[in-house]
Structure 1
């Protein structure tokens, strides 16, 4: 249940982050990956990564980047792993109960999408500017939270795109309220496109150093390797934006909305980068 100030309380917010100690290495088994800049080898869905230990820990956790697995360091299940392991399956792991393996691996990505929605709803609920939407946001949060506690068959039958669509309508409105008044951000309800509407834009490698992007709509934007050094990104919307190798050195992300820790981990930055309080400065960033 969201806390007294709207967003989830501390204990519940921690449940929206991956807790590998209470998982069965689900992301290391259920998900596929291909040999690339992010992964050193190919792996099919449902096949355990060769680095997965018998206790479900990672054998190279402290050396993932050095061993060619930076993709693992920027991944977060948003708490789906431990919820599937401990709640949905009551602590029965797929090794000791192999009959559950295939179903568990199929349930995991569904749960992750639901947990991701909870992360976004929690972010929106924590904003003063979204107060007019709080009743609807709280109701949506409770609905999605109840879905995460459903049985495996119910989770697999869930129309996830439809659920995302319903929540997204609220998140769009919340974004407009947060961004309104910030630089060139669009006023809620306005039909005129903002000059800072970069939704879904191809900004791969773009030179945006020092650019005023306060209140910008960067939803789904491709910012791979973009130069955002010293950019003003205050109150920008980052939902779904691809920030892999984007340079955020000296950038100001104060008050930005829907920025996740995996996005931060995938980018570059330094000690001058201003992050929102809920986000942690990655260890691999420059000092």
Structure 2
């Protein structure tokens, strides 16, 4: 397996764009079975999934044309060809966007990475403080830019961490204490890796982003494994996340993320419990505990 952070063609986001494109397409082919696509399987296969020629047939393009795309040369491909390949691979909308960013970064030329580290506007912090649910703001790199007291009560006291360690991905993959707050940390890690992969494609030339990927790759076997799967996604609106807290035990929170308008790309992540539920009572208990004077 190639290194997640390469030093070659760094035209998109500090990772090797052509390697990323090649491995992404291969990973999408590998998850498709010929019989599911109406193709004969021809017995035992050396590698799982569709062969290149089968994918080219399904997409309606020549084998040589598709092979060139999978070699990382997507600049000369038409939008129609990329769309046909995406349909043949049964890509999701997020995966289609990721394919375009890797194959033809010039079509995404209006998207540029914001300088890191970023700062939160005071008005946004005031909004966080006024919310009655756990909430925080992250940038594309998943750096924690701001949060409220209830988020600290649920997820951990991020204020006690050095600024360079206040990053959701670093916490999930490198901090046992942070992982312990999630009842299913493996599922959380999968979502975080997908978000990071998606955001990497939106952050061309961001060396700060690449350094995070390199650090996680060197220090976390779990991250290396998930990163090699090339899954993309930003999580699902309304996802239910089961938390584990030393004071109130396990409870469920509904995740509602939203983009913040203006300036550098940032996302507000809010979490709420179903009204009247046991989880709602657990959250209220944490809120009351957070408001009590600490001795």
Give TM class, smaller chain: under 0.3
Please state which structure has a larger fraction of its residues in strand.
2
> Of the two, which has the highest radius of gyration?
2
Q: TM-score, normalised by structure 1?
A: 0.26
* Larger RCO (CA within 8 A; separation ≥ 6): 2
Q: TM-score, normalised by structure 2?
A: 0.25
Please state which structure has a larger fraction of its residues in helix.
2
